[in-house]
Amino acid sequence: MSNDAAASGQCTLIDEALLDQTTRAARQSTRLRRNHNFHAADDDASHRLINAMEPGSYVMPHRHLHPDKDETFVVLRGTFGLLLFDDAGTVTEIRVLRAGGEVLGANVPHGTWHSLVSFEPGGVFLEAKGGPYVPLTSEERAPWAPPEGDPGVAAYLASMESRFEG
């Protein structure tokens, strides 16, 4: 989702109306998530955005190899599960990220396999990382996880979500 305000130099307020608008767009998306960019263009050196993500959205485990691609998440609304993996696909750490909770977000260093799951409708997080936007390479997509659209996604997503039960 582009941001005409950023391109024109206008101030954009991060308010409930913007969160609601981005959430509505996420609910209408086949991927059940949508971002609203604060950076003006994909080639900007710094990417700042809000990302609305509904339950059932699948973020394939991935990593960013470039040293400028550490990724920071701060939850503005809702509850998310952060999963970190080793190179073999074994979950090494899980954290619940919750707006107003004990853990509000995380900074994921480049090279770290990670994914997020959404636990509440209307969840939104602020995301920041270095630009420019470059699509993930095959080395950055987890070879042990199904790609988006694969028949195995539902079971894999359920297995990630089940890590947070109890």
Residue 111, both tokens: 């090279």
**What is the number of other CB atoms lying within 10 angstroms of the CB of residue 84?**
19
The chain-wide mean pLDDT, for the chain, equals: 95
Distance of alpha carbon 128 from alpha carbon 47, whole angstroms: 6
pLDDT at 33: 98
| 47 and 133 Cβ atoms separated by less than 8 Å | yes
- Confirm or reject CATH 2.60.120.10 for domain 13-162, answering yes or no: yes
pLDDT digits (tens, 9 = 90+) for 29-86: 999 999 999 999 999 999 999 999 999 999 999 999 999 999 999 999 999 999 999 9
Residue 71, both tokens: 């990724």
pLDDT at 130: 96
Query: Which residues are 47's β-sheet partners?
Result: 129
pLDDT at 114: 98
pLDDT at 8: 64
Single pTM value for the model = 0.93
Q: What is the mean pLDDT of residues 158-165?
A: 97
User: Counting Cβ atoms within 10 Å, is residue 47 exposed (0-12), middle (13-18) or buried (19+)?
Assistant: buried
pLDDT at 10: 82
Distance of alpha carbon 10 from alpha carbon 17, whole angstroms: 17
